[in-house]
Structure 1
Amino acid sequence: MNPNNISIRQLQAFVQVAHNGSFTRAAEGLHLTQSTLTAQIQQLEDQAGLKLFDRTTRRVLLTAEGERFLPVAQRLLSDFETAVTDLQSRAELKQGHVSLAGSPSVVTRLLPSALPEFRTQHPGISVHIRDDSAGSLEQRVLNNEVDFAIAGNHSQQPDLEYRPILRDLYGLVVTRHHPLAASKQLEWAQVPDEELLLLSGDTGIRAQLERFSASGQLNIQLDKARIEATNPAGVAALIAQNLGVSVLPALAADTHSFEQLRFIPLREPELEREICIITRRGRALSPAAAALLASIREQLSRMKLPNGVQGCVKNRD
């Protein structure tokens, strides 16, 4: 017997005939002609190479082989119906799972305001959020560990698609009593190199600063940084202890960790970070992931963004 040639309709026909003990009543229950039903049973028996029913003038009875096969057929049909129902529920957003990743500033500043409305609309969908460095975020998308990521463009991977949603201006972060704290804006030439605290090299922000420096857009010496941290919250704690100053995008400096510090926009040149939706090229989002992404976009369109952060013109798929 080749199980690949047995169809769901044949299993349904077999179970109905077994339950009814009659081809006539089974055909009525399945809304088939009796000849069609008889043909399906015949095809199943031919595939199996066994008789599954003993036919008498009054009743149709299961053979011994049919008796053994009946609970298997019932289980297969039940599993199939459950799988189809699950697919329909996911398509209708009644249930599902979304896994996304974001840079620390995105997870802290943007996602919390978008999730409550999404959870209200789709209570059956679970959400798993990862907070990671930019390089790791891209790799998680490539490995299909997450549906999408929201972060800066770290390395322009050819297998990933980057759709900008925010532009994020760089600025200097200092304590409130720092000599530069009263400034409304500064030039990059005024950044005190000898006081620099920076994010580590595996972060998207540091990688972008290195690219700016290599292209000649920056005249500060990043290699003078005395201390490095792996996330913005760590940098904020170091600045609060008067251990130096840092250069960060506006969104990264707008979390609770920076409440007692000052962010001063940097001009000449005016440098920005792009926050992107990162997806794997050629891979369609699940209905649940697409719904969450739409909810995030909708929330961004209504959100009052921090000074130095603005939405991109191309913020739609």
Structure 2
Amino acid sequence: MSINFDLNDLQAFRAVVENGSFRKAADAIRITQPALSRRIEKLESALNVKLFERTTRKVSLTTVGLAFLPQVERMLDDLDIALMSISEVASTRMGHVTIACVPSAAYYFMPQVISAFHRLYPRIKVRVLDASANEVNSAVALGEADFGVSFSGTLASEVDFELLLQERYVVACRRDHPLAEREQVSWEEMYEYDYISLDKTSGNRMVLDQALLRSPAKKPSICETRHVTTMIGLVEAGLGVAAVPSIAMPAAGHPILVSVPLIEPEVLRNVGLIKRRGRTLTPAAIELEQLVRQMPARSAGH
């Protein structure tokens, strides 16, 4: 049998498997849908087998296609790993990596990580899905993101969690606020001042509600937001104080904002990598994941 197919045909095959449709696969590898169909037809003709079952609603692998998939993934991954290890070639690699990340972690992790990754692989695009913990969890579980950075909590059964760092909650306030000079502040003391809180859709709100069952606020917040980064902006504008994860705070030396550790109780949050169980990351995604792991743990109180 004459094997008359090439690398592009194998990449087209994997793209259809990963995206579940010819249209999405064509978009992912940046060719037209007819061109993609021709590559699949060429591959099926060369192998003399049918790889996909196609209906008006979905595309699924045949039994032969399922058996062929691991071999294709191994070949493409081995080739990518070989190419990524050659610095001259690595700088010309193209493609994209998608990471889902809760906004507070994105603020801490992503600028340095993306900068380092771009220096290594300037032609590989990084997409950051900055979203709530539930949305990050869903994006990873559904395969919309290669992996995610979030905090432990209610995780889907399809994903695994790997701890990166443990951080504490702090009170964010302006330097001219009465709490700014304190070494630590109790939750009860913080609640004596005007404060900003998170709404019930926030994953952080769930963490705090569970931890503060015995330390409820004695008065309502003056404002609710969905994201921690918005809260910090409101604190900077002088609306009040806010309890936030330490990694969401600007680095020490910020001209307006300071953070003070919260106690009684001390509330901790576990931040880590989440990945869909059984998913094999592309070499580019593995490189990005390693850079995330290498981020030094910034001290909780700065």
TM-score (norm 1): 0.64
Structure 1 CA distance, aligned partners of 2:255 and 2:76? Answer: 46
Letter in 2 for 1:247: A
Structure 2 CA distance, aligned partners of 1:120 and 1:262? Answer: 32
Give the 3 Å change call, closer, same or farther, for CA 279–186 of structure 1 in structure 2: same
Quick check: 2:101–2:131 contact (8 Å CA) kept in 1? yes
CA deviation vs aligned residue, 1:21-52 (integer Å, no higher than 9, x gap): xxxxxxxxxxxxxxxxxxxxxxxxxxxxxxxx
Bigger radius of gyration: 1
Matches within 5 A, 1:93-104: 93=84, 94-104=93-103
Secondary structure, in 3 states, of the residue corresponding to 1:110?
helix
Structure 2 CA distance, aligned partners of 1:254 and 1:86? Answer: 41
Structure 2 CA distance, aligned partners of 1:204 and 1:259? Answer: 29
Structure 1 CA distance, aligned partners of 2:191 and 2:288? Answer: 42
Pair 1:279 & 2:275 matched: yes
Match of 1:265 in 2: 261
Cα RMSD of the aligned pairs, angstroms, is 3.1
Match of 2:201 in 1: 202
Quick check: 2:104–2:245 contact (8 Å CA) kept in 1? no
Letter in 2 for 1:166: L
Worse-matched range after superposition: 192-201 or 167-176: 192-201
Equivalent residues, number = 232
Matches within 5 A, 1:25-40: none
Pair 1:141 & 2:126 matched: no
Cα distance, 1:144 vs structure 2: 0.6
Match of 1:175 in 2: 174
Matches within 5 A, 1:70-89: 76=42, 89=79
Secondary structure, in 3 states, of the residue corresponding to 2:212?
helix
Quick check: 1:98–1:126 contact (8 Å CA) kept in 2? yes
Among candidates 293, 298, 302, match of residue 297 of structure 1 = 293
Quick check: 2:260–2:301 contact (8 Å CA) kept in 1? no
Match of 2:129 in 1: 130
Structure 2 CA distance, aligned partners of 1:115 and 1:241? Answer: 29
Quick check: 1:167–1:275 contact (8 Å CA) kept in 2? yes
Quick check: 1:102–1:130 contact (8 Å CA) kept in 2? yes
Secondary structure, in 3 states, of the residue corresponding to 1:138?
helix
Structure 2 CA distance, aligned partners of 1:222 and 1:305? Answer: 32
Cα distance, 1:145 vs structure 2: 0.4
Give the 3 Å change call, closer, same or farther, for CA 243–188 of structure 1 in structure 2: same
Pair 1:250 & 2:246 matched: yes
Give the 3 Å change call, closer, same or farther, for CA 290–222 of structure 1 in structure 2: farther
Matches within 5 A, 1:300-315: 300=295, 303=296, 305-308=298-301
Match of 1:105 in 2: 104
Match of 1:160 in 2: 159
Paired-residue identity, %: 25
Give the 3 Å change call, closer, same or farther, for CA 222–296 of structure 1 in structure 2: farther
Give the 3 Å change call, closer, same or farther, for CA 283–272 of structure 1 in structure 2: same
Cα distance, 1:88 vs structure 2: 5.7
Quick check: 2:165–2:297 contact (8 Å CA) kept in 1? no
Worse-matched range after superposition: 128-137 or 175-184: 175-184
Letter in 1 for 2:206: A
CA deviation vs aligned residue, 1:84-105 (integer Å, no higher than 9, x gap): 9966653433443210011112
Secondary structure, in 3 states, of the residue corresponding to 1:198?
strand
Structure 2 CA distance, aligned partners of 1:180 and 1:165? Answer: 30
Give the 3 Å change call, closer, same or farther, for CA 137–259 of structure 1 in structure 2: farther
Structure 2 CA distance, aligned partners of 1:127 and 1:297? Answer: 16
Letter in 2 for 1:308: G
The gaps in structure 1 that reach 5 residues or longer are 1-6, 13-71, 310-317
Cα distance, 1:224 vs structure 2: 1.7
Secondary structure, in 3 states, of the residue corresponding to 1:251?
helix
Among candidates 233, 238, 242, match of residue 237 of structure 1 = 233
The gaps in structure 2 that reach 5 residues or longer are 6-37, 47-71, 85-92
Quick check: 1:153–1:204 contact (8 Å CA) kept in 2? no
Structure 1 CA distance, aligned partners of 2:111 and 2:210? Answer: 31
